[in-house]
Amino acid sequence: MEINSLRELYIDQLRDLYDAENQLIKALPKMAKGATSDELREGIEEHLEQTKNQAQRLEQIFERFGEKPKGEKCKGMEGVIKEGSETLEKDMDDATKDAAIIAAAQRVEHYEIAGYGTARTYATLLGESEAAELLEETLDEEKKTDQKLTQLAEQINVEAVEGSDGEEGREEEAPPSRARSASGSRKKRAA
Residues engaged in binding Fe ion (CB under 5 A): 51, 54, 112, 142
**Residue of 26, 39, 164, 155 whose CA lies nearest to 84:** 26
In whole angstroms, how close is the CB of 56 to Fe ion at the nearest point? 11
Nearer to Fe ion, 94 or 142 (CB): 142
Nearer to Fe ion, 23 or 51 (CB): 51
In whole angstroms, how close is the CB of 180 to Fe ion at the nearest point? 26
Nearer to Fe ion, 81 or 99 (CB): 81
* CA–CA distance, 12 with 5 (Å, rounded to integer): 11
Beta bridge partners of 37: 186
In whole angstroms, how close is the CB of 163 to Fe ion at the nearest point? 28
Handedness of CA 24, 27, 30, 31 (dihedral sign): negative
In whole angstroms, how close is the CB of 61 to Fe ion at the nearest point? 14
Nearer to Fe ion, 11 or 28 (CB): 28
* CA–CA distance, 135 with 118 (Å, rounded to integer): 10
* CA–CA distance, 13 with 25 (Å, rounded to integer): 18
What residue number has its CB nearest to Fe ion?
A: 54
* CA–CA distance, 62 with 189 (Å, rounded to integer): 45
Nearer to Fe ion, 54 or 183 (CB): 54
